[in-house]
Amino acid sequence: MIRYRLYAGTAPGPKYQEKGWDCQDCSKIFTFDDTQIAVLADGHGSGNCFRSEHGARIACEAAIKMTWLYRVFEDRSKNVQRFSDSGIESFKYAIAKEWRLSVREDWIKRASRTHKLGDGEVRYAAVKEKFLDRYNSEDKNIVERYLYTAYGTTLLLAVSIENQVLLLQIGDGTCVVLRRDGTFCCPIPVDENNYLNVVVSICEEDADLKMRHAIIDCDEDSPQAPVAIFMTSDGVDDCFPVFENDKHLYGLCSVIIENILENGFEATEKEMTKDLLPGLTEKGSKDDISMCYLVTEDMDALREALEASKTND
């Protein structure tokens, strides 16, 4: 069993701070029993998604809650916890359903506090007329159909159990894995429907069917076992050129791992939160950014993998 150190960090981007908008990203970590969870969500910047910062928070909370309640690792054959195919598909549905239920509750709760939709909400001024009509419609069916768009967000989740890691995603962002043999990879299948400013969202009715996933075995003797898993929102990805973007991210992950090996987890995480993430967005994408990681606590294995990665280059 690989035991990971978890980290989650989020930094607001200058382009939204200048508008007076709240940070639309959210990232969280959670541990129970032998299960470790890291999750991030990137609320959409579209004016129509005027509550996406709340949608991102709700998405992270829904993912953690459903992992804790649902126990997606139902296959316990040979007394070893493993993710089951049917369990994963049901898990996706449970996350999407929980998100929609929580969003609807939030919409109703906010409506009860004010006489007018959008009061005190800075981003409401950016909503297009077509969606203003939908959000303010007297037809409850129209409001019910479209209110979820206001909270639109992506989601990227990692769940580590006894001997496997489940990676799950909807929308953009990237998951980078460093394996014991020193090879980097991005294991989650690519969704070609994410391009430019078009992003698949958890607010879509069939969101569970659009979630992609990958399962990684964590047998400590396997050269494919992950010693480090990094998840980034597109605000981090966009700090680097589109051409061979993954290789630039591999380099960033290598720098972080080197810092961990030299200075330890606590010092590295303080530097990431205080300097690295704010510096990336300030000099790069100007977007809200988030990063999570699961990094093995076995420093020898981590060092060997990093050294091997330099040879592979």
What's domain 4-312's superfamily in CATH? PPM-type phosphatase domain (3.60.40.10)
For residues 227 and 170, give the distance between their C-alpha atoms in angstroms, rounded to a whole number: 24
Please, are residues 194 and 200 in contact by the beta-carbon 8 Å criterion? yes
C-alpha–C-alpha distance, residues 221 and 225, integer Å: 8
* pLDDT reported for residue 87: 86
Sketch the domain layout of the chain as residue ranges. 4-312
Is the pLDDT confidence value at 28 over 90?
yes
Q: What is the tens place of the pLDDT at every residue in 43-99?
A: 999 999 999 999 999 999 999 999 988 765 555 555 567 888 888 999 999 999 999
Q: Which of 132, 156, 157, 166 is nearest to 146 (CA)?
A: 132
What mean pLDDT is predicted for residues 195-220?
A: 91
Of 49-63, 75-89, 242-256, 296-310, least confident by mean pLDDT is 75-89
Kindly report the average pLDDT of the chain as a whole number: 93
Task: In whole angstroms, give the CA distance from residue 149 to residue 152.
Answer: 5
**H/E stretch holding 232:** strand 226-232
- How many CA atoms lie less than 13 Å away from 25 in the CB half-sphere? 30
SS3 108: helix
Q: How far is CA 226 from CA 26, 85, 297, 298, in A?
A: 24, 21, 12, 12
Give which of 158, 159, 180, 309 is closest to 247, Cα–Cα.
309
pLDDT above 90 for 197 = no
Residue 229 CA from chain centroid, whole number: 12
Does pLDDT of 249 surpass 80? yes
Spatial distance between the Cα atoms of 195 and 255, rounded to a whole number of angstroms:
28
Taking only the tens place, the pLDDT of each residue in 109-138 is 999 887 789 998 999 999 999 999 999 999
285 vs 76, higher pLDDT: 285
